[in-house]
């Protein structure tokens, strides 16, 4: 038994387009809210958390719903297609509303803004003050922006859980950490492509640019990912083969009739472990999301750095790490590997505290490289630990549990961190906030007892090592 890497890569194209979207979303939406509408960090953080509020309710719903769907194209594919198409159209539409708001700011007569000049700190402050005055005077553009944003976010919520649940659908349990490593690797490629587009369109160099061209390019990347997925993935066939393989290896028991009844109740120790896993997910996502959701603002407005290349360094480090981490977790266990990743991520964020606007930008690269390795180490193993406790008919539901924890955390992160930023300044709180919450996740994960892959029989182990019996 060994992982079919080609198959998992094709399945991962759904995650590829998800990652591409969120990379663009996290990069430009905070800048639009802060610079074009003039919102303070707390208000901007509240709007940035809307996707997470929706996700808490919608991701478990659509994950469980996809468990019950059975079409000729499979359980997950219809959700992926519909959600992606609606998200692409509405994301492009969102930029036209922003263009209207930006035109209002330009018409207010700020010198040099119509040429898109790079702004200094005083110019930025003056422009943001004017922008918020215009928003208060006529809030309709902001209302329209938020309404369209809701459409975008609901569309993404439709297929996020089904897309992620597809990997466990076609991968036997002992190989899911490796499978998740490949999925994350595929997704990271999407994120890097979008970061490169950010450099091409100079999204970190111009605070008052129109983002339509950039978003069209991003959605074109998403569309390519969707087309590759549709032409290569045979969801029903691959899921049936995985179920047969799991039964042959003794990992699942045969179920009479409809496989959708293939579910089970957890024991009390398993429930405790699941809750601790979800608590850990929530804590490290609070720490991590507080950094990623506002790093474009922090790098641009506080440090004066190009955030795109810094994030590319983090993504590149993650890419290098995914496959080795998947292999190491198979040898040493998911829990121990996650604990190492938590330590690495906390150290990276702690190091970032000492980087200032007078520090060379190059110093930030090893900081984010370490963060990328730490996050990859955590990410590869946390989702498989959650779905390890599920039967085949429950994978979508347990995927929903996982995302409920992560999205609930991301509701808290932008708002809570935004309050601290407004009170004490981003310079003094930004990395410290992330460090504290990532460190707390070490405590909860330390006490987890379930979620590592079950050992295979000797024969199956030999097969896994590619040794002829």
Give the CA distances from residue 95 to residues 43, 45, 287, 298, in Å, rounded to whole numbers and listed in that order.
20, 19, 29, 22
Alpha carbon of residue 378 to chain centroid:
13
Residue 359 per-residue DSSP state: S
Q: Residue 10 contacts by C-beta under 8 Å, 6 or more apart in sequence?
A: 228, 229, 232, 233
Q: Domain limits of the chain?
A: 5-251+261-453
Burial tier of 362 (Cβ tally within 10 Å: 0-12, 13-18, 19+): exposed
Burial tier of 184 (Cβ tally within 10 Å: 0-12, 13-18, 19+): buried
**pTM beyond 0.85, yes or no:** no
In tens digits, the chain (469 residues) has pLDDT values of: 678 888 889 999 999 999 999 989 988 898 888 888 888 877 887 887 788 788 888 888 888 888 888 888 888 999 999 999 999 999 999 999 999 988 887 787 665 555 444 445 555 667 777 777 888 888 898 999 999 999 999 999 999 888 888 888 888 877 877 888 888 788 888 988 998 898 888 887 766 788 999 999 999 999 999 999 999 999 888 888 878 877 776 666 665 554 444 556 778 888 888 899 999 999 999 999 888 777 877 887 788 777 778 878 887 888 888 888 878 887 888 889 999 999 999 999 999 888 887 787 788 889 989 999 999 899 888 888 887 777 656 777 788 888 888 888 878 887 888 888 888 888 888 899 999 999 999 999 999 888 776 544 444 333 333 333 2
Place of tokens 């928003």: 135
Please tell me the distance from the alpha carbon of residue 385 to that of residue 277, in angstroms, as a whole number: 8
| Assigned token pair, 354 | 């000492």
| Assigned token pair, 289 | 């999301």
C-alpha torsion angle, residues 387, 390, 391, 392 (rounded to 10): -30
Burial annotation 95-131 (CB, 10 A radius, 16+ → b, else e): bebbeebbebbeeeebeebeebeebeeebbeebbebb
Residue 116, Ramachandran bin (φ over 0: left; ψ between -120 and 50: alpha; else beta)? left
Give the Cβ contact number of residue 265 at 10 Å. Answer: 6
Class of domain 5-251+261-453: mainly alpha
| Assigned token pair, 75 | 């359980």
Look at residue 161 in the predicted model and tell me its pLDDT.
85
In the chain, the largest separation of any two C-alpha atoms, in whole Å, equals: 78
């Amino acid at each position: 038994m060994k992982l079919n890497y080609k198959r998992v890569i094709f399945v991962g194209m759904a995650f590829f387009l998800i990652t591409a979207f969120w990379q663009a979303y996290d990069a430009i939406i905070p800048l639009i809210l802060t610079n074009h509408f003039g919102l303070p960090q707390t208000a901007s953080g509240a709007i940035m958390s809307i996707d997470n509020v929706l996700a808490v309710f919608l991701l478990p719903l659509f994950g469980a719903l996809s468990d019950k769907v059975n079409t000729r194209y499979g359980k997950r594919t219809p959700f992926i297609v519909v959600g992606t198409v609606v998200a692409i159209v509405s994301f492009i539409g969102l930029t036209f509303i922003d263009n209207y708001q930006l035109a209002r700011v330009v018409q207010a007569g700020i010198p040099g803004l119509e040429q898109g000049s790079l702004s200094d700190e005083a110019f930025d402050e003056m422009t943001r003050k004017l922008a918020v005055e215009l928003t208060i005077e006529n809030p309709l553009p902001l209302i329209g922006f938020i309404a369209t944003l809701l459409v975008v976010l609901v569309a993404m919520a439709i297929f996020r859980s089904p897309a992620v649940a597809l990997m466990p659908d076609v991968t036997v349990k002992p190989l899911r950490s490796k499978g998740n490593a490949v999925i994350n690797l595929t997704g990271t490629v999407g994120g890097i492509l979008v970061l490169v587009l950010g450099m091409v369109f100079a999204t970190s160099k111009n605070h008052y640019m129109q983002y339509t061209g950039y978003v069209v390019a991003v959605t074109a990347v998403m569309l390519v990912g969707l087309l590759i997925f549709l032409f290569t993935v045979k969801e029903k066939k691959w899921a049936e083969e995985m179920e047969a393989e799991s039964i042959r290896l003794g990992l699942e028991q045969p179920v009479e009739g409809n496989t959708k009844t293939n579910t089970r109740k957890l024991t009390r120790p398993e429930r405790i472990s699941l809750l601790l896993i979800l608590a850990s997910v929530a804590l490290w996502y609070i720490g991590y999301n507080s950094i990623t959701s506002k790093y474009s603002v922090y790098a641009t407005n506080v440090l004066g750095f190009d955030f795109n290349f810094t994030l590319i360094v983090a993504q590149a480090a993650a890419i290098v790490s995914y496959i080795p981490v998947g292999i190491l977790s198979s040898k040493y266990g998911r829990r121990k590997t996650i604990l190492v990743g938590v330590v690495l991520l906390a150290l990276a964020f702690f190091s970032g505290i000492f980087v200032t606007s007078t520090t060379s930008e190059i110093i930030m690269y090893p900081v984010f490289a370490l963060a990328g390795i730490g996050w990859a180490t955590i990410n590869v193993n946390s989702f498989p630990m959650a779905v390890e406790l599920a039967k085949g008919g429950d994978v979508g539901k347990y995927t929903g549990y996982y995302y409920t924890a992560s999205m609930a955390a991301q509701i808290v992160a932008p708002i809570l961190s935004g309050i601290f930023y407004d009170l004490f300044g981003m310079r003094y709180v930004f990395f410290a906030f992330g460090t504290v919450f990532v460190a707390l996740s070490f405590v909860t994960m330390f006490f987890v007892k379930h979620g590592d892959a079950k050992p295979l029989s000797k024969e199956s182990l030999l097969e896994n090592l590619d040794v002829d019996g």
